[in-house]
Chains A and B, each alone.
Chain A
Amino acid sequence: MKYVITSVSVEMKKLFHSKVPYITFIFMLLIPFFCGFFMFILKNPTTAEKLGFITSKAQLTTGGTADWISYISLLTQAISIGGIIVFGFITSWVFGREYSDRTIKDLLALPIPREVIVYAKFIVISILCIILSIIVYLVGITVGFSLGLEGYTGIVMKQGSLNFFICSILTIILSTPVGLIASIGRGYLSPIAFLILMIFLSQIIAMTGYGIYFPWAIPALLSGVSGEISFLLSSYILVIITGLVGIVSTSLWWQYKDIK
């Protein structure tokens, strides 16, 4: 436990002294403001008419009603897709920077097991991603209230918030294989390519109807992006297995792969 606490504090220092939290914070802030913008258009038909195609797109995505159910659902969809990119980017940076900054060798002959350093990295990544999700949620709620959306009830908020955080956590879990790709690719480029590929494949696989079997498509499907929310236990299990495979394989890579 002592090793974990030490490694986490070191990884926190490295991550929070970098620009990554600020860049991702700004990027994630776009989510509630864009979602709020869609709601604003839906709530104001005159403006909607003037903007034409944007209105039709907004109706297509949210069901066309400017209320809390649609709004929280939209926020959840946005974090499920945007989170794959942002959380994946954070993971690729945390692991890839050790290779691109060539500091990896400094971490491999220390009186701390290598796997603990890997776990600490995943813990710190999760902490930042959870903070970002909470910020998106809180800013989103504030934007929702400032827009004066209709349909605010305790049940709607409870169910919507729960779904938002479940999808956020599933998206965070899916970032673990990025750690392995960054370690194999020894930098940032391969994981970014991997993320783009996963998003592309999720779109294709979701369209064929097999999305619930493809981990990277699951959070978006659970968020209701396809118009209906599917709850399948097997989907949760699949995401969790993918996350565990990511952690274990990254840890094994760090423990046994030769460093040149």
Chain B
Amino acid sequence: MTILKKVIKTQGLSKKFGNKYAVNDVSLSINQGEIYGFLGLNGAGKTTTILMLLGMVTPTFGNCYINNTEVKTNKIKLWNDIGYMVETPYAYPELTVRDNLEIFYKLRNLSSIETVDEVMDLLNIKQYENVKVKNLSMGNSQRLGIAKALIHKPKILILDEPTNGLDPTGIVEIRKLFKRLSEENKVTILISSHKLDEISKIASKIGIIHNGKLIREIACINLDRHLKKTLYIGGHNIKKMHKLLKEKGYSILIHEESQLIKTTDINIIDNPEEIVTILVENNYPPNLINIEKENLEDYFLRILYEDKEKNI
């Protein structure tokens, strides 16, 4: 059995600004090669958590560990393995794309200047190498931000909303790049976002943060199990079909809007043929059977709603 190495870990991480907790008791762990999707609404605590992981904000309580080393500002060697981008990427506006990358090539103490060209090729910004950053489009500024994070081929990537400002082609391209880095180079990636669809396509694990608290952590492989399913059945005599199934003890109701039989009972949904057989045998053959699966966005909103209800 392979023991997965925990690369990023937080223990009871909290940050208080004034009387308010921006992050409250967040404990998460990310294994090597994992893509961790950090989901949350604006102001949920994603960026503050990331800033604590990067040593830019000191936790009020709790600790952050990267490669089993506690994050402290004076442990500078830690940053050799980490590439990061926090919020909208900014660069020195009066300098060109190449100049900006050369600055990080120097600051990261890299030995081969070719790394600058390699990362420009990787992010498809080579054609803009001599363009001043102030004249770049938002999408290309975003690519430059990612290039700065990748220039030293880090083993860990911490990215805050990395696909903001990218066009749909760019989003797909960057998603493929992150997937490749994770699968081929075993790069551990933490991506924060509020774009649920985007995260679901890339992440191996999702953490949902709300009002500073990590309210749910799910491995994407199990995500399907967490998504609510609803079975709809249509027929010519819905009321009689409903009465029959009720008499047989099934947990169903009539959906007023669509005038369809509706159930969220997982036993029925997993074996729909059972009630279909009963209906057919009783001369109520269904003319519609549909299983609707909750999408990630609905799931996310439901989780937030449940959390709110819990706290009332």
Contact = CB atoms under 8 A, between A and B. Distances in A.
Contacts of B148: 106
Contacts of A18: 94
B99 A13 contact: yes
Contacts of A9: 106
A189 interface: no
B131 interface: no
A203 interface: no
Interface string B62-94: 000000000001101101101010111011111
B103 A17 contact: no
B51 interface: yes
A6 B109 contact: yes
Contact residues on A (Cβ < 8 Å of other chain), bracket: 20 to 34
Contact of A14 (B74, B80, B103, B104): B103
Interface in A96-121: 101-103, 105-114
Nearest to B95: A17
Interface residues of B, number: 32
Contacts of B88: 102
A10 B73 contact: no
Interface string B217-258: 000000000000000000000000000000000000000000
A92 B76 CA distance: 27
B103 A13 contact: yes
B90 A103 contact: yes
Contact of A13 (B54, B56, B95): B95
B280 interface: no
Q: Is the interface of B mostly helix, strand, loop or mixed?
A: loop
Contact of B93 (A6, A101, A259): A101
Contacts of A259: 51, 56-57
A258 B56 contact: yes
A18 B134 CA distance: 13
Contacts of A112: 76, 107, 109
A111 B79 contact: yes
Given A10-B107, A258-B56, A109 B92 contact: no
29 contacts: A6-B107, A9-B106, A10-B106, A13-B103, A14-B95, A14-B103, A18-B94, A19-B94, A101-B90, A101-B92, A105-B54, A105-B87, A106-B104, A106-B148, A108-B54, A109-B54, A110-B107, A110-B108, A112-B76, A113-B74, A114-B73, A255-B73, A256-B58, A256-B73, A258-B56, A258-B58, A259-B56, A260-B51, A260-B57
Given A111-B76, A255-B73, A259-B57, 13 more contacts: A2-B109, A7-B107, A9-B106, A10-B103, A13-B102, A101-B90, A108-B56, A109-B79, A111-B108, A256-B73, A258-B56, A258-B57, A260-B51
The 9 A-B pairs with the shortest beta carbon distances in the complex, nearest first, are: A102-B90, A259-B56, A258-B57, A109-B54, A109-B79, A105-B86, A111-B80, A111-B76, A111-B79
